[in-house]
């Protein structure tokens, strides 16, 4: 249990604390307008670089294993696809029925359907080891999640036009 707690503290707690302290310090020294208008536009894109780095590392660690056991990958992928589709559809439907705007509905739907596989991978590797089946399942997650969520973008745009009369890109 301590290995899992330690992984969560490291991979969530450290970035949370660093972000909090950075914001608090910079806003106190430079002001809110400078922080949101100057610092964040320059610093914000580093999050994308961090995500890309994480994805490269994931596939570097498990890429050969994914190719060696394609049936295991399919066994992991099938329930994930169902999960993403069901969660997105439920969130979209419930949000619409509750009277949320299209923007709120789309945001809630993607939040409900998405996962934090980076944390899952960190916990699996720390707890079970880099070569474990649990680590493999964590790596397969984003491999499936990204294309499914990209496909759901088109579903969301269609739903926005059909059910909300939203002016969204075709």
Please tell me the distance from the alpha carbon of residue 41 to that of residue 59, in angstroms, as a whole number: 29
Profile the chain (170 residues) by mean pLDDT over runs of 10 residues: 78 87 95 94 84 75 82 90 96 96 95 81 78 82 88 95 80
43-49 long-range contacts, CB within 8 A, separation 24+: none
pTM of the model: 0.69
Predicted confidence at residue 39, as pLDDT, reads 93
Helix then strand count (H, E) for the chain reads: 9, 0
Tell me, what's the pLDDT at 20? Answer: 94
Residues across the chain: 170
């Amino acid at each position: 249990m301590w290995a899992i707690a330690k992984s969560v503290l490291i991979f969530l707690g450290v970035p949370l604390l660093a972000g909090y302290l950075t914001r608090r310090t910079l806003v106190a020294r430079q002001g809110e307008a400078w922080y949101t208008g100057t610092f964040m536009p320059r610093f914000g894109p580093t999050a994308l670089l961090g995500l890309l780095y994480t994805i490269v590392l994931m596939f570097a660690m498990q890429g050969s294993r994914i190719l060696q056991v394609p049936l295991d990958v399919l066994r992991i992928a099938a329930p994930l696809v169902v999960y993403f589709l069901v969660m997105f559809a439920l969130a979209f439907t419930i949000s619409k029925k509750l009277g949320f705007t299209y923007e709120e509905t789309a945001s809630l739907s993607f939040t409900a359907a998405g996962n934090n596989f980076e944390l899952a991978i960190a916990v699996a590797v720390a707890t079970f080891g880099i070569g474990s089946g649990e680590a493999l399942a964590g790596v397969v997650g984003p491999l499936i999640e990204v294309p499914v969520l990209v496909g759901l973008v088109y579903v969301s745009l269609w739903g926005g036009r059909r059910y909300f009369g939203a002016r969204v890109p075709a």
